[in-house]
Structure 1
Amino acid sequence: MKFLKLNKIPLLFAIVSIAFYISFGYDLERSHFVRLISLYSALFFIAYLFIEKFFPKHRENFWFLASLGIVLRLIFIPAIPNLSQDFYRFLWDGRLLAQGISPYVFTPEIYFKEVSESLGVIVSQANELYEGMGALNASHFSNYPPINQLFFAVAALFSGKSILGSVIVLRVIIILADIGVLYFGRKILERLTLPVKNIFWYFLNPFIIIELTGNLHFEGVMLFFFVWALHLIFNGKWFWAAVLIGLSVSVKLIPLLFLPLFLKYFIDKNKISKNTILSNFKKFNWTTLLKFYTIIGITIIITFLPFLSLEFIQHFSATIALWFQNFEFNASVYYIIRWIGFQVVGWNLIETVGKILPVLVLLFILGLAFFRKNKTPQQLITAMLFAISFYFLFSTTVHPWYVATPLLLSVFTKYKFPIVWSFMVMLSYSAYGKDGFDENLWLVGLEYSVVIGVAVWEIFQTKNRPVRF
């Protein structure tokens, strides 16, 4: 009764949130953009109230907010994703792997033309999965790394021939990963003496609940392994951290961007004052760093080993290259370059620009690694935040769920622009109208103007501000 008296208003908003999430998951089509952004805006505002207004007044409400985050995820359990069709490809790959067939050797398109008859391979509900994923997805080889594929296979093994059953299995995995992020994220915040409420900008954020649990994107699983690894690193346990980072890379390749940033964290650690949070760490040095990278590399190789072949290397690398040289969606700097290209030479320069932009990103990350102080956990995570943000800034394709990585990193820093981004990125869904795909570049421009504006303001205005929200 005391809890009810103290939390009448939060409980009311919790009920409203549940109703809105039910509407979002079961009564919304992607093409209904006005309704989508309206529901999302309401959910985002309610999340803000919970995190910034209700939580500080009743700090014992951590478990209430954690429970609410789980309940809101469970709402989606029997729902078919309505904002993304990628999960159909997940199920396709999983059903191949469950039969002992590499999902990297042929495309769904090739399956219908050649493989099903010549090799006798049968994919349950092949027509439904093919139609669901779309012709574009079906025409390319799989680009999902092995540990990701393992989860797809688990869904196939436990659900038989049921699409909904496979969706439920994948959703449970993603929910468990988010709970893991909450657990290790809280530990890191406590160790860094930062407000624990910060982690709810990940766990209670409607962006995370909708894009990961709702739409079945595996950024959360990747981040679970990675945040667990960070927790171990900050406690001096680099060996198992390296294994976890290797697993994280084998879910999504993104953590590869962060590897150079560990350089100064390892080799300069002994120069840090004994009064810092790092004083009880074992000595790190060049030898430790080399071992750290070696363990990561070995872990990645082991996970890829069952699939390694010349054919796999050709198909996997070619598909990855498509994201840089062929696909374009919700980009920022690239769209400006593309417009200039049309004005100057009269055609799209994506094939050329797609080769140059990754080089610029690599140079930027190496600059962060060699010239920035990354000696403390906060400095290291901030460098990671800058690295991933710069990467997406120069990417030709930025799907909404990609923002999950900078969002999680931001909760351990003094920067809030990824939180703003987690709201603004939903404007990209305006591209999916009733008449087909058509990006509204004015809304894309608005998204990045706001996000970049907030980021620039924070960089210049918060240089000496304590690391808290």
Structure 2
Amino acid sequence: MIPFWKLNKVPLLLTFVSFFLYWLFAYDLIRTEYTKLIILYCSVWVVFILLLKYAKNNIKFLTAIAFISRVIFILAIPNLSQDFYRFIWDGQMLSMGFNPYLTTPDYQMSLGGLSGFPNQVELYNGMGALNASHFTNYPPINQLCFFIGNLFPGNSILSSVIGFKLIIIAADFGTFFFGKRLLERLNIPVKNIFWYLLNPFIIIELTGNLHFEGVMIFFLVWSLYLLHSGKWKWAAVVFALSISVKLIPLLFLPLMFWWFVSTSKNESNHGNKKWIPAFAGMTKLISFYAIIGITTILLFAPFFSSEFVDNYSQTVALWFNNFEFNASIYYLAREIGYWFTGYNEIAVIGKILPILVFLFVLGLTFFRRKIDTKILIAHMLFAFSFYLFLSTTVHPWYIATLLILSVFTNYKFPLVWSFVIILSYLAYINLNTADKSENLWIIALEYVIVYGVFIWEVFFLRRFPKYKKTI
């Protein structure tokens, strides 16, 4: 019998190299070490691609590597993001019986803080002035994750970080479980799931930097699996859980319209009475929306008050009307605004761009009357891509949702974006040290690559679903 080592010599060597690189990334990197950051990120990506090449059909082996890579980050404090300080803060507020939506950290500290609040000063200083001055915008299931993560034994910041990471790793396992099943049902190669699960971007941004997009994605993939399996009522409940982690899945709701009508037509046989399955589909769709709405309201109910509504809507609006980071089309629109008015028109542009996104989603909704789950996911991919293209703020971890949707399609531009998104961490490198604004040349390089691949795949390879009139 040939020894396991000889059969898997190259994949095993690559595995050890990847583990070492992840260890360096987790425990020996400071965010401002830009050269080291780029070298490590590119190196771990090369190993990732080679692993998929040499072990692409060994599902168990790749799965083990993916989760061991995550375990390497367990004891590491996030080094590329400070958002986790606010996560711990909100979780501590809940554990002490306070509604985290009703006060800001600035307000709490102005009153002298709360007694019995572990690491209060360190958390306040760590989250930064911007985070501390605003009300929390994290939905209730996300808040529940913050609460549970803080239950991990110990009162240190590290103990809470470990608790959060265990939740995110568990969510990734759920994404793998239901994602693999959905791929099998759609007759798509199961190995596609590793473009997400083994992707260095996902491992670093979710487990490493503690972003809960991974939990939202788990519920989203689970919901899509249930929907494809015909269990649309349960799919609606799980979809609401996804919304209650991050609000992004709300964008996909209009796209469900023709899916319900199409599946009802496939399940029904009523001769020439075509209106009967269409009516059944509409009835299911309305019920689907109702279940999502009721479940979401029930999840928000424990926090509900008029003050909560004001605070939450005000905070969400900030993402469209105040914040700017790593944008593309918005930055072009902003420059045009400067030419005409001489000042930043984000207040106006920030209201127009969401309307354009909504109109685009409606266009996708009625783009093709007969759709299946594959086309539905492709439409979701394009809807969210358009949203990101027009956003005023595109943080790196936002790409995670785009990446998981691409696993179920032929499109690879999200995969390319998950690689070049590292450039956004270099956005504040300027030759003029007094200039604290973003380096638009670096951002331009990122988007030239992303848009180049996007245009090539969509328009030159003709992969975008074309409208076909149903008979």
Do both share a fold (TM > 0.5)?
yes
Find out whether 1:29 has 2:25 as its counterpart: no
1:72-221 matches, cutoff 5 A: 72-114=69-111, 116=113, 122-221=116-215
Check whether the contact 1:25–1:79 (CA below 8 A) recurs between aligned residues.
Answer: yes
Q: Distance in 2 between matches of 1:159 and 1:333?
A: 46
Identity of aligned residues (%): 56
Cα separation, partners in 2 of 1:450 and 1:197, compared to 1, 3 Å: same
Quote the residue 1:13 is aligned against: 14
Q: Which residue of 1 aligns with 2:274?
A: none
Name the TM-score, length of structure 2 as normaliser. 0.93
Partner SS for 2:216:
helix
Cα distance per residue 1:241-260 (max 9 Å; x no partner): 10000000000000000011
CA–CA distance in 1 between the matches of 2:463 and 2:297?
42
| CA deviation after TM superposition for structure 1 residue 195, in Å | 1.3
CA contact (8 A) 1:158 1:169 kept: yes
Task: State the alpha-carbon separation in 1 of the partners of residues 337 and 34 from structure 2.
Answer: 31
1:216-235 → structure 2 map (5 Å cutoff): 216-235=210-229
Cα displacement (A) at 1:284 = 5.7
CA contact (8 A) 1:31 1:432 kept: no
Structure 1's 32 and 176: CA in aligned 2 closer, same or farther, altered over 3 A? same
Greater shift after overlay, 368-377 or 127-136?
368-377
Counterpart of 1:252 in structure 2 is 246
> In 2, distance between residues paired with 1:149 and 1:68?
30
Deviation at 1:72, TM superposition (A): 0.4
AA of the residue aligned to 1:63? K
Residues 364-403 of structure 1 mapped to structure 2, 5 A cutoff: 364-373=360-369, 375-403=371-399
Change beyond 3 A, Cα 1:157–1:164: same
**Counterpart in 1 of 2:449?**
450
Aligned mates of 1:395, 1:121 — CA distance in 2: 40
- The question of 1:420 aligning with 2:419 is answered no
- 1:66 aligns with 63
Does the 8 Å contact 1:374/1:380 carry over to 2?
A: no
Q: In the aligned structure 2, how far is the partner of 1:11 from the partner of 1:273?
A: 48
Kept in 2: contact 1:105–1:315 (CA 8 A): yes
Normalised by the size of structure 1, how large is the TM-score?
0.93
Q: Verify the 8 A CA contact 1:261 1:374 in the aligned structure 2.
A: no
**Amino acid of the structure 2 residue aligned with 1:372:** R
Question: Per-residue CA shift, 1:110-162, capped at 9, x if unaligned?
Answer: 0011374xxx6653211100110001110000000000001111122334421
CA distance in 1, matches of 2:233, 2:265: 22
- Taking a change above 3 Å as real, the CA distance of residues 328 and 285 of structure 1, as seen in their structure-2 partners, is same
- Tell me by how many angstroms 1:3 deviates: 2.6
Whole-angstrom CA distance in 1 between matches of 2:3 and 2:462: 43
1:270, 1:76 → 2: CA distance? 46
- The answer to whether 1:263 aligns with 2:262 is no
Q: CA deviation at 1:432?
A: 4.9
Unmatched runs of 5 consecutive residues or more in structure 2: 269-276, 466-471
> Residue type of the partner of 1:463?
R
Superposed CA deviations along residues 282-332 of structure 1, whole A, max 9, x for unmatched, are: x96111111111111111001100001000000001000000000000000
Quote the offset at 1:55 in angstroms: 3.0
Q: Please give the secondary structure, in 1, of the residue aligned with 2:102.
A: coil
Unaligned runs of 5+ in 1: 275-280
Q: Secondary structure at the match of 2:150?
A: helix
CA RMSD of aligned residues (A): 1.9
Shift of 1:438: 3.9
Aligned partner of 1:399: which letter?
A: H
1:398-413 pair list within 5 angstroms: 398-413=394-409
Question: d(CA) in 1 for partners of 2:9 and 2:294?
Answer: 53
Q: Which residue of 1 aligns with 2:343?
A: 347
Give 2:234's match in structure 1, choosing from 226, 240, 245: 240
Q: Is the 8 A contact 1:262 1:374 kept in 2?
A: no
Contact in 2 for aligned 1:94/1:152 (Cα 8 Å): yes
Q: Which amino acid aligns with 1:30?
A: R
- 1:335 maps to amino acid: Y
Could you say which structure has the greater relative contact order, defined with CA pairs below 8 angstroms and 6 or more residues apart? Answer: 1
Aligned to 1:42: 43
1:316 paired residue number = 312
Q: Deviations over 1:409-463 (max 9, x none)?
A: 0010010000000001110000355969542211111111111111111112333
**Aligned equivalents of 2:284 and 2:136: distance in 1?**
35
Structure 2 Cα separation of the partners of residues 273 and 250 of structure 1: 31
Q: Is the 8 A contact 1:374 1:383 kept in 2?
A: no
Q: Deviations over 1:186-238 (max 9, x none)?
A: 11111111111110000000000000000000000000011001011101000
Please say if residues 414 and 465 of structure 1, whose CA atoms lie closer than 8 Å, have aligned partners that are also in contact.
no
Distance 1:182 1:92, change over 3 A: same
Q: Which amino acid aligns with 1:154?
A: I
Question: In structure 2, how many angstroms separate the alpha carbons of the residues matched to 1:115 and 1:225?
Answer: 39
